[in-house]
Amino acid sequence: MSINLFIELFEFANFLADEAAKISRKYFRQPLLIDSKENKTPVTIADREIELRLRELIKQHYPEHGIIGEEFANSAESAEYCWVLDPIDGTVAFSTGKPTFTTLVALLHNGVPFLSVIDQAISQERFSALAGNVAQLNGQNLATSSVKQLSDVRLNATTPYMFTSNYERECFERVRQQVRLTAFGGDAYAFGLLASGHIDIIMEADLQYYDVAALIPIITASGGVISDWLGNPLTREFNGQCLACANFELQQQVLRVIKNI
């Protein structure tokens, strides 16, 4: 892949985020009908309108590219280049007027995420990364925290209710008992905060690939590590469990706590 194509695709990803932001700002803190999907998760007109707009733009500019999205059927998902879209990550936050929802845009090359954007439209914070480059927030380079001990860690999870099995609840509780403080909320926005050095560890469960694809380039390019709860890469077949850490040393400590060794 040429550097010119790299830059072109990265600029297009940012254009998609710009278009999504126009729509999310239009509906934010306005009266909304909140529907429930078959999996009981909420969805609004904003989710659907954003994804339809982004799909339309991708098909116009790159008709040969695949698309994986949250709200509509996947298209050519095995293509060399495939976009992964989460139009509003944090629909609950969006629906309750909290400016912590984000739009997630990632591009896979042969199945591997190599560029991504996490965009918060209200605060106008855009986390982004392109393979081989440093992650950035609005053009400023990012770096994860230097915390190396669990006893100093700031731990985050979107909600304790995402840990649906006894195994998940017990693992999270073991980690929680060893850290300095624990916070909840944030959805994908929290991963941008980890990349910025404000959170040290994030444990999540019950996620889908469209929830995590955009996180991978940003976390790794800022110096962090992101995997499942066993330390494996997050592929399209991952089991929904996600662990992001500010550095490799923290990840290894958490993995030992999870394994209870």
Q: What would the pLDDT profile of 84-123 be if each residue is shown by its tens digit?
A: 999 999 999 999 999 999 999 999 999 999 999 999 999 9
> Which of residues 89, 118, 141 is at a domain's end?
141
Supply φ then ψ for residue 2, to 5 degrees. Answer: -75, 155
Query: Residue 127 in contact with residue 192, Cβ under 8 Å?
Result: yes
Q: How confident is the model at residue 83, as a pLDDT? A: 98
Entry pTM: 0.96
Residues 197, 238 within the same domain: yes
Q: Which domain holds residue 104?
A: 3-141
Residue 124 is encoded by which pair of tokens? 């106008």
> Which of residues 141, 165, 197 is at a domain's end?
141
Query: Residue 50 in contact with residue 20, Cβ under 8 Å?
Result: yes
Greater confidence (33 vs 198) lies with 198
Residues 156, 137 within the same domain: no
Domain tally, the chain:
2
| Cα 149 from Cα 178, distance rounded (Å) | 10
What is the mean pLDDT of the segment spanning 78-84? 97
Q: Quickly state the pLDDT bin for 27 (edges 50, 70, 90).
A: very high
Q: How confident is the model at residue 1, as a pLDDT? A: 66
CB-based contacts of 108, cutoff 8 Å, min separation 6: 66, 81, 82, 83, 84, 114, 213
Residues 49, 115 within the same domain: yes
What is the mean pLDDT of the segment spanning 215-236? 98
Q: Quickly state the pLDDT bin for 132 (edges 50, 70, 90).
A: confident
Query: Residue 117 in contact with residue 83, Cβ under 8 Å?
Result: no
Query: Shortest CA distance to 91 belongs to which of 53, 124, 48, 123?
Result: 48
